[in-house]
Structure 1
Amino acid sequence: MATEPEKTIEDKPHSSRGDEKNTHSPYDLNASNNPGNIITQISLRARRKWGFIDGTHTEPGKDATEFEDWWIVQSMIVSWILNTIEPSLRATVAYAENPKTLWEDIKERFSVVNGPRIQQLKADLTRCKQEGASMAAYYEKLKILWDELANCDQILKYTCGGCKYSIGSQLEKRREEEKVHQLVMSFDDVSYATMRSSILAIDHLPSLNRVYTMLIQEERMKTITKSANERGLVVGLAVHVGNKARGEGEHGEKTVTCSKCGKNGHDVKECFQIVGYPKWWGDRPRHK
């Protein structure tokens, strides 16, 4: 009796080859995920773990196959959150095995608008000056204050239906313009006065990143010019010292001239024709 030939891999349906798109589970953890990691909200989203914070991924039943994986991921996220907290504040945070509960507790305690802190940050921005620091170091100091102020004094969000005015984006643009003014008005007057006038003279202020790029370029040009001037000063000093070594005074005049032999570099008291020629003079002529 003839038997049906065995199907090869090529003859099997496409769905049985195992090459369908691989979907990742939120319970997946790889070798780079360890309790010592420091995370942010963005990294939690990138790792598909934000659902454990906002409640999207609910606790499965105790009989579910992923129940153990649920608690493993929960413990891992709790460790990540605790690592992001300052050591001095870590002991004040309530212990919780659920990252959603822990996150909400931290948000409730540290997201409250702090009026005195906002006032202090604004005062620090007013007093912040470049004072000879590099533009990169100075900008970093300002950015730290800006970021903390943005966390304490968040822009209100409008969700009114049918509103055609993007008020939120306008407020964001206004805040960035304030940052530009704070930046250009607080760096050194002597070095960047011309650059400040050029930026403020523009009808529409450039973005903060654009202004920072312009300042970095200006700083590099000043560094190149300063190096060239210093090299010129060194060369001029070497020529000046060389001229003095060849017998010229500070104003270019010759040194003392001997009245006996008429040569420069010694006076009549040191002239060999008067005091006598030394032994090392040898048989050389003893006059001119």
Structure 2
Amino acid sequence: MPDSAIVATQKTPSYTMVHVENLGHSITPIVFNENNYDECSRSFHLALMAKGKLSYLDGTINKPAATADNFETWQSTNALVTMCIFNTIEPALRNQISIRPEAKHVWLDIKNHFNQINESRIYLLQADLFACRQGPTESLVTYYGRMTAIWNVLSELDVIPVLLGTR
């Protein structure tokens, strides 16, 4: 993409769609299934942030009145974000997701349905972190990456892991 196209994309308001956005494509390579909400959520949020459309998911852009000048543009962009959500979902799960008029409500339904925080999951993640040791042939980068992955999941669950001891 030429530099001028990048600059034009960055200056485009959130209410508008850019010509490269396509309803038939997923915006993230990660396909959402019932077991990877955390990973898919991170990827999806980053992808929408890169496109300047995250505000449709977090609700910071409110739906304008039907008589407002920007209503049709908001409606088109909201539909685009909603389609991006559905294109990211594994086909077998799509029937479990309610189609709502606003992308933020679709995402909240997904979060409420699939982001189940439970004590046993938190305990297992904390136990994995406590037991995490660098293997004899494992590089420091790989070891640190495994620990960071666990910390990332725990931080997204808003849990501060407590280590009971060290060796």
TM-score of the alignment, normalized to the shorter chain, above 0.5: yes
Answering whether residue 157 of structure 2 is matched by residue 152 of structure 1, we say yes
Give the structure 1 partner of residue 31 of structure 2: none
Give the structure 2 partner of residue 37 of structure 1: 27
The gaps in structure 1 that reach 5 residues or longer are 1-22, 156-174, 186-288
Calculate percent identity across the aligned residue pairs. 31
Distance 1:65 1:153, change over 3 A: closer
Answering whether residue 147 of structure 2 is matched by residue 142 of structure 1, we say yes
* Deviation at residue 126 of structure 1 after TM alignment: 2.9
Distance 1:90 1:134, change over 3 A: farther
Give the structure 1 partner of residue 15 of structure 2: 27
Post-superposition Cα deviations, 1:48-81, rounded to whole Å, max 9, x if no partner, equal 4233234343333434443332222112212333
Task: Give the secondary structure class of the aligned counterpart of 1:78.
Answer: helix
Post-superposition Cα deviations, 1:144-191, rounded to whole Å, max 9, x if no partner, equal 111112222435xxxxxxxxxxxxxxxxxxx6x96xx87xx5xxxxxx
Task: Please point out which of 56, 62, 74 is paired with 1:58.
Answer: 62
Task: Give the secondary structure class of the aligned counterpart of 2:53.
Answer: coil
Task: Please point out which of 62, 68, 77 is paired with 2:72.
Answer: 68
Give the structure 1 partner of residue 128 of structure 2: 124
* Contact 1:27/1:73, CA 8 A, preserved across alignment: yes
What's the Cα RMSD here?
Answer: 3.2
* Equivalent position amino acid for 1:66 in 2: N
* Contact 1:95/1:102, CA 8 A, preserved across alignment: yes
* Equivalent position amino acid for 1:148 in 2: V
TM-score, structure 2 as length reference: 0.62
Distance 1:152 1:85, change over 3 A: farther
* Deviation at residue 118 of structure 1 after TM alignment: 0.6
CA distance in 2, matches of 1:56, 1:149: 26
CA distance in 2, matches of 1:113, 1:49: 27
* Equivalent position amino acid for 1:154 in 2: V
Give the structure 2 partner of residue 108 of structure 1: 112
* Equivalent position amino acid for 2:126 in 1: K
Task: Give the secondary structure class of the aligned counterpart of 1:125.
Answer: helix
Answering whether residue 99 of structure 2 is matched by residue 95 of structure 1, we say yes
Task: Name which one, 1 or 2, has greater alpha-carbon Rg.
Answer: 1
Distance 1:83 1:152, change over 3 A: farther
Distance 1:107 1:29, change over 3 A: same
Bigger RCO of structures 1 and 2 (CA < 8 A, at least 6 apart): 2
The gaps in structure 2 that reach 5 residues or longer are 1-10, 29-42
Post-superposition Cα deviations, 1:21-51, rounded to whole Å, max 9, x if no partner, equal xx74322222443342125435534544233
TM-score, structure 1 as length reference: 0.40
CA distance in 2, matches of 1:49, 1:102: 15
* Contact 2:64/2:70, CA 8 A, preserved across alignment: yes
CA distance in 2, matches of 1:85, 1:46: 20
* Contact 1:118/1:153, CA 8 A, preserved across alignment: no
CA distance in 1, matches of 2:94, 2:120: 23
* Equivalent position amino acid for 2:56 in 1: F
